Chain A
């Protein structure tokens, strides 16, 4: 009998099968993932989740008898009081005791848990964001140096002594270079014999053999170098472009009195999506939350999403704050800076000029991307087209004309967030090469 411990074998043998299953059901799963967004809170957006999909995509049919019809016999356990010839009402639905309860699992949805990774993959894959991320990085990459093994040529300063010695030793062993100890042993023996007086004939013979051996060994040692040029190994380096792996996202939200709960919810969802995307594309993403009324403040996440402050509106205050924080902690030459601004578009007329100048002269030059999201009221589904243009929208419109990395969109419904988000990021990716 053998006992084999398999516990340390790599688990996840089913991983490939699981992936294939997901790919097969992709369209269904994707729809389910998107639908699930509507019911999720912002914090749970990227949690692993349970989703359910219809059975159709993954159904495996077989030939089998129908669950109903025909004449059937069956044996059951646990009779209490039936006698032969008794008649029993057929249970509701016609498919009761007589039917084969073992066949078919019905048409229930197929439920399963998606891991966080799988969820994000499906979720962001649909957005086609990873490609965009690469493009976005082109401007901001720095050269890095990376070790890439060894080479047989190089500058002396890159000589790898351990590796060279290792090679040399292997060569010496393979070619059987006599060791110093071996030569020394023969020399010592020769010395002891030479010291003898008088020399007996067998000693002389021995001495002669030793001299021959000695000469042979010395010749071999001379022939086979201790270190040969072929042993030399140099450390090899390669220059690799290394993307700047840090990004910061500024979330600017209007929390003034005109913003309804519904509007805030839309804005938050947008921020959550953006954060999700950035944290997938960068190793480190920092998020700066700024909310503003007629005064702006940098706040923590909790306050940002759940605070109840309210007041008037002065958009420039938030932009000032942004510039201040960026200058303080996020120098543009080191950071990818993203800005997402959400507002209902209400601003004081006299503030607009300042907003435009801040945006154009200070913010846009230092950022990768600025997205302005205008949230509308739920009551007007066609808000984007029928509602009159807001003051902020009017102010921003020429900015967007002039700058490709400033985009603006309107949303009025939760369902629009996702498509708009997608459009915002895709548009930039596609429009990269085209004249604007």
Chain B
């Protein structure tokens, strides 16, 4: 069959709705029938660049509660955009069912094709199939839940005043990263039910409320509970600080607890995204690259359009070297796409080295099957630690450095050679392990019968302490929510010596 038999879908860079539709209809059979991608139904929404700025600023969500920090983000983004320091993303995709992809009206026809392949099929497939998203997120319910959250918070503002709500949100945002359960008790999220349950809780509280009971003396019998028992009752130690506050904060009103809950559930919803940046972007990039190549091979896009595509594509997967002056960290697009194309090579055309390292996939002949399995069952950390090949380490000339506190110099610990491959791979995987990257902070005890001092512990790895200034501020927020003194002690992971400690007293005017 003549591969270039078809006429191109478009020739210029202009697009209209009919064309977007034709492009979609050309891509869909490639993605679904040939690549066998398993996707949610798609919805494409065309927006202007100003709306894209809007969308950016509320963590990419179409509806969100109101808070000044989103305004701050908007202001920053707009500023960078106006000055031309930063372009806008071409697309924005939401993990929901149907999967919503925003595309900008300013994009050229080629870019629309790229974006549809990237977001509507690449990300969409990843969202629907990756185990973390399946376990932690509820694509069917998220939009309804956000709607509920927005309404609820507006209601709170009407009832309790904007300032009071803002305080709770500020404090909750500061603790947002400490608002996730890291280890799943596998229980599918049902966010739609969440909203209903809040209504039920409220109704129940109202039905049982009897003012008389407030005046019944409780007595002092609770004074002597054994520590073990106390910890068991409170579910301590607890790494999810927001959850602990929501359940046990003695000073919080019901609506304040509910706001903590909202922030916590949203943090949890985004938790998988934070763990799969390289994979998610890598998968989407791999998918768009493959689809655009096929469109070109079949003559459905012109040489010119393909060149335009390649230019954007190479821009996206560009990885500066450490000494290039604009190196920040690894580009997740480059890293994900690099390893995935390498996996494809290992499946199709393995060397002896690949056979030794990747016996189970080398020469399997079906890279797409292997990749789909990877997309479904790995996160960044396990993905890198399994599939970063020696060849890629050599190609990227990766090396590992060791920076020790009591050493005046930095040591090159491993380079791209036989002795270094595994160590480099392990260290890089480590860098993508969110459990390693984020400090391990837990609520360890609370003196409920005494002064209600809340005790937290940071287990210090490799002697890296918390940032002092930020910690003081976050702790202040925590104390305000808790309502009593809070203490955080930083202890060495190995010998449990206390390295530093912080305290905070609640601000008296806070609850007013």
Contacts A98-B401, A104-B467 given; does A6 touch B462 at CB 8 Å:
no
Compute how far the CA of A9 lies from the CA of B67 in the bound complex, rounded to whole angstroms: 21
Give chain B's interface secondary structure class: mixed
Give which listed residue, A20, A66, A96, contacts B465 with CB less than 8 A: A66
Tell me which residues from 1 to 56 in chain A have a Cβ below 8 Å from any Cβ of chain B: 1-7, 9, 11-14, 16-24, 50
Compute how far the CA of A22 lies from the CA of B344 in the bound complex, rounded to whole angstroms: 51
Contacts A5-B46, A7-B46 given; does A74 touch B403 at CB 8 Å:
yes
Report B-chain residues with C-beta under 8 Å of the C-beta of A14. 53-54, 57-58, 70-71, 74
Report B-chain residues with C-beta under 8 Å of the C-beta of A200. none
Contacts A17-B74, A74-B427, A87-B410 given; does A3 touch B17 at CB 8 Å:
yes
Binds A, one of B76-84, B268-276, B372-380: B76-84
Compute how far the CA of A104 lies from the CA of B403 in the bound complex, rounded to whole angstroms: 19
Report B-chain residues with C-beta under 8 Å of the C-beta of A12. 50, 54
Binds B, one of A57-65, A149-157, A162-170, A270-278: A57-65
- Is there an interface contact between B71 and A62, defined as CB atoms closer than 8 Å? no
Q: Which partner residue on chain A sits nearest B401 by CB separation? A: A74
Q: Which partner residue on chain B sits nearest A50 by CB separation? A: B79
- Is there an interface contact between B431 and A74, defined as CB atoms closer than 8 Å? yes
Give which listed residue, A2, A64, A78, A82, contacts B467 with CB less than 8 A: A64
- Is there an interface contact between B72 and A58, defined as CB atoms closer than 8 Å? yes
Q: Count A-B pairs with CB separation below 8 Å.
A: 266
- Is there an interface contact between B400 and A75, defined as CB atoms closer than 8 Å? yes
- Is there an interface contact between B68 and A24, defined as CB atoms closer than 8 Å? yes
Report A-chain residues with C-beta under 8 Å of the C-beta of B323. 78, 80
- Is there an interface contact between B411 and A102, defined as CB atoms closer than 8 Å? no
Contacts A21-B68, A70-B405, A78-B397 given; does A4 touch B79 at CB 8 Å:
no
Q: How far is the CB of B161 from chain A (nearest CB, A)?
A: 13
State how many residues of chain B have any CB contact under 8 Å with chain A. Answer: 101
Contacts A61-B174, A71-B404 given; does A11 touch B54 at CB 8 Å:
yes
- Is there an interface contact between B177 and A70, defined as CB atoms closer than 8 Å? no
Tell me which residues from 272 to 287 in chain A have a Cβ below 8 Å from any Cβ of chain B: none
Candidate in A14, A17, A71, A75 with the most chain B CB atoms within 10 angstroms: A75
Contacts A2-B98, A3-B17, A17-B66 given; does A62 touch B431 at CB 8 Å:
no
A69 near B: Cβ within 8 Å?
Answer: yes
A195 near B: Cβ within 8 Å?
Answer: no
Tell me which residues from 385 to 417 in chain B have a Cβ below 8 Å from any Cβ of chain A: 396-405, 408-417
A88 near B: Cβ within 8 Å?
Answer: yes
Candidate in B72, B320, B409, B441 with the most chain A CB atoms within 10 angstroms: B72
Binds A, one of B132-140, B189-197, B247-255, B468-476: B468-476
Give which listed residue, A13, A61, A63, A88, contacts B412 with CB less than 8 A: A88
Compute how far the CA of A311 lies from the CA of B162 in the bound complex, rounded to whole angstroms: 60
Report A-chain residues with C-beta under 8 Å of the C-beta of B470. 61-64
A245 near B: Cβ within 8 Å?
Answer: no
Give which listed residue, A71, A80, A99, contacts B463 with CB less than 8 A: A71
Give which listed residue, B71, B102, B458, contacts A19 with CB less than 8 A: B71
- Is there an interface contact between B51 and A73, defined as CB atoms closer than 8 Å? no
Tell me which residues from 162 to 187 in chain B have a Cβ below 8 Å from any Cβ of chain A: 162, 166, 170, 173-178
Report B-chain residues with C-beta under 8 Å of the C-beta of A87. 409-412
Report A-chain residues with C-beta under 8 Å of the C-beta of B74. 14, 17-18, 21
- Is there an interface contact between B174 and A69, defined as CB atoms closer than 8 Å? no
Compute how far the CA of A113 lies from the CA of B83 in the bound complex, rounded to whole angstroms: 10
- Is there an interface contact between A73 and B17, defined as CB atoms closer than 8 Å? no
Q: How large is the interface on A (under 10, 10 to 19, 20 to 34, 35 or more residues)?
A: 35 or more
B303 near A: Cβ within 8 Å?
Answer: no
Report B-chain residues with C-beta under 8 Å of the C-beta of A63. 175, 177-178, 438-439, 441, 458, 466, 470-471, 474
Contacts A75-B399, A104-B467 given; does A4 touch B44 at CB 8 Å:
yes
- Is there an interface contact between A85 and B465, defined as CB atoms closer than 8 Å? no
B203 near A: Cβ within 8 Å?
Answer: no
Candidate in A50, A65, A89 with the most chain B CB atoms within 10 angstroms: A65
Q: How far is the CB of A374 from chain B (nearest CB, A)?
A: 41
- Is there an interface contact between A82 and B399, defined as CB atoms closer than 8 Å? yes
Compute how far the CA of A172 lies from the CA of B51 in the bound complex, rounded to whole angstroms: 48
Q: How far is the CB of B212 from chain A (nearest CB, A)?
A: 41
Compute how far the CA of A19 lies from the CA of B67 in the bound complex, rounded to whole angstroms: 10
Residues of chain B touching chain A, judged by Cβ–Cβ distance below 8 Å, are 17, 20-21, 24, 28, 41-48, 50-51, 53-55, 57-58, 66-72, 74-76, 78-79, 82, 98, 102, 105, 120, 162, 166, 170, 173-178, 319-324, 327-330, 396-405, 408-417, 419-420, 424, 427-428, 430-431, 438-439, 441, 458, 460, 462-471, 473-474, 477
A-B contact pairs, 18 of them (CB 8 A): A1-B21, A5-B46, A14-B58, A14-B74, A17-B70, A19-B71, A22-B71, A62-B176, A69-B405, A69-B463, A73-B403, A75-B398, A75-B427, A76-B398, A79-B415, A84-B413, A90-B408, A112-B78
Residues of chain A touching chain B, judged by Cβ–Cβ distance below 8 Å, are 1-7, 9, 11-14, 16-24, 50, 58-67, 69-80, 82-90, 96-99, 101-104, 110-113
Q: Which 3 A-B pairs have the closest CB atoms?
A: A78-B321, A98-B403, A21-B71
